[in-house]
Amino acid sequence: MIRGTVRVKGGSIEQQISHIEVIVKTKYNIQEDDKAETKYKTVASHRVTNEFMIGAGEEKVFSFSCRLPLDTPVTIGKTKVFLMTDLDIEGGIDKSDYDSFHVHLHPWMNNVLQALQEIGFRLHEADCEHAPYFRRRLPFVQEFEFIPHSGPYKGLLDELEAVFHLHEDGLELILEADRKARGLAGWLEEMYNDGERLTEVYFSENELEAGTDRLADRLDQLISRYTE
């Protein structure tokens, strides 16, 4: 939940305000035709108030609250999320204000990250990447990049990338691993697969809340396939 207040102070004359809206935005990376660029996307919006009048020098305060969608990116790594307050002034210049804020990990996501740490992976980076092929509400996904810094995968995998899709009753996890070439056969496999293979798994609410040890065992079974 986001809760806050919007303070509006009148200018030198009385003015009609059409509405106030708060808009949650983030940015994502897109690469087309060998050109990289950053785009901004609205994740959610909430109408704080409809039309009202504010007198000269008058101050009004409006409270609001809204729930973020489950696919809102978390503010980890390079990911930034901010709130734009839009004030639509009838017959005047519209005003806006930007405030960055923190979006914490959903507890289920945090449990998965803790489980990955238990089997030797460390979160290295996270950012939002254009991914229309997932056919989700938003044109991007937040990608988490892990490095094996200890345990059985150190020296075997270069990195592990994960995408989380939260649902009301569970979590869908998509994993992608880069494998170090091992001799001629390993080199040919990397050429054929471009070094990457995809794994999708769904964790139920019960699995996600049963403790990180069980999650770590399940993840270990899945990731070990990349080293076979």
Domain residue limits at 135 = 107-227
The pLDDT, as a whole number, for residue 172 is 95
C-alpha span between 226 and 119 (Å, rounded):
14
pLDDT digits (tens, 9 = 90+) for 59-100: 999 999 999 999 999 999 889 999 999 998 876 666 778 889
For the record, the structure tokens of 9 come out as 């102070």
C-alpha span between 40 and 56 (Å, rounded):
35
The closest of 191, 182, 188 to 227, measured between CA atoms, is 182
Stated pTM of the model: 0.83
CB 165 within 8 A of CB 99: no
Mean pLDDT across 152-167: 91
Domain count, the chain: 2
pLDDT digits (tens, 9 = 90+) for 178-189: 755 444 333 333
Q: Are 116 and 206 within one domain?
A: yes
CB 168 within 8 A of CB 156: no
Q: Are 215 and 173 within one domain?
A: yes
CB 112 within 8 A of CB 124: no
Q: Are 114 and 149 within one domain?
A: yes
Q: Are 79 and 158 within one domain?
A: no
More confident residue, 78 or 227: 78
> Mean pLDDT in the chain?
87
Q: Are 44 and 76 within one domain?
A: yes
Q: Are 116 and 58 within one domain?
A: no
Q: What is the DSSP string of 43-82?
A: EEEEEEE-SEEE-TT-EEEEEEEEPPPTTPPP--TT--EE
CB 181 within 8 A of CB 188: no
Confidence category of residue 192, pLDDT binned at 50, 70, 90: very low
